[in-house]
Amino acid sequence: MTSPVLVTGGTGRLGKLVVAQLADDGCAVRVLARHHRPVLPGVEFFPADLRTGQGVEPAVTGAAAIIHCATSTRGDAQATRNLVAAAARAGSAHLLYVSIVGIDRIATWGYPKAKLEAEQIVAGSGLPWTILRVTQFYDYCLANARKLSRLPVAPVPAGFIVQPVDPRDVAVRLAELARGRPAGRAADLAGPQVTNWTELLRGYLTASHRRRLVVPLRIPGTRAVRDGALLPPPGHTAGARTWEQFLVSQLGAAPKPRLSPA
């Protein structure tokens, strides 16, 4: 692909992996975010705020594809509206949006509601589009596991069934989709294992040689998640790397604590 691919949120958790993948594939890459952070050599950085629309136009002009990874806790629908408007004015780039598996089953509050609305904005934009719904990223799970295990007793949401994915698998898939034709709703992407939060936390404790009492707690209002709302439907694409493999890559061979003498 000779024209550049723009990655919104290209400095974020997923965005920077997408940028690295595209650069590896030999694509010209642009990054859009509010705050300047180091980007790979050869990658062009465009400071812009999608919520106000300021600075967006130059970033989208001439882009063959836009992979929209930018997100924040508030305002994703408006940000997407501004991106679509600028992209439509600039031409007809292929717009790819990263969403969340099961979003329509949990969109009862702010963040998922805004993401679902953003999906609808992309699908109704008149631009060629692809939406890829993915499950929770392993590094998000790891950050949560670290928080939960700060105390000797580790509380964990009871019965949360999930199928998290390595964000590198997501980046590979997005780069592939950006090179292809607009796909509409692409097959959802999840990791290779169905699991639950208790097992994820236990895996982390084992890999980091920590001992904690794991206490599953029932959280009111989370029935949908306990019923599997975050699991992908049949026919989804499965990433390759397991949670255990991810933990080894992140934690390395953590030394086992020495036993105290009897």
Ligand X SMILES: NC(=O)c1ccc[n+]([C@@H]2O[C@H](COP(=O)([O-])OP(=O)(O)OC[C@H]3O[C@@H](n4cnc5c(N)ncnc54)[C@H](OP(=O)(O)O)[C@@H]3O)[C@@H](O)[C@H]2O)c1
Residues near ligand X (CB under 6 A): 8-9, 11-15, 32-35, 48-51, 69-72, 79, 98, 100, 115, 134, 136-137, 140
Nearer to ligand X, 143 or 251 (CB): 143
Nearer to ligand X, 32 or 64 (CB): 32
Nearer to ligand X, 79 or 122 (CB): 79
Within the chain, residue ranges assigned H as helices are 13-24, 56-60, 76-90, 103-106, 110-123, 138-148, 167-179, 197-207, 223-226, 243-251
Closest CA to 132 of 123, 141, 142, 124: 123
Separation between Cα atoms, residue 103 and residue 126, nearest integer Å: 22
Q: How far is the CB of 159 from ligand X (least distance, A)?
A: 19
Are 95 and 132 spatial neighbours (Cβ–Cβ below 8 Å)?
no
Closest CA to 140 of 76, 197, 67, 186: 197
Nearer to ligand X, 69 or 87 (CB): 69
Closest residue to ligand X using C-beta atoms: 12
Nearer to ligand X, 236 or 260 (CB): 236
Q: How far is the CB of 144 from ligand X (least distance, A)?
A: 10
Count CB atoms within 10 A of the CB of residue 209. Answer: 11
Q: Look up residue 14 and give its two tokens.
A: 């997923």
Q: How far is the CB of 33 from ligand X (least distance, A)?
A: 4
Are 89 and 54 spatial neighbours (Cβ–Cβ below 8 Å)?
no
Q: How far is the CB of 147 from ligand X (least distance, A)?
A: 14
Q: How far is the CB of 62 from ligand X (least distance, A)?
A: 19
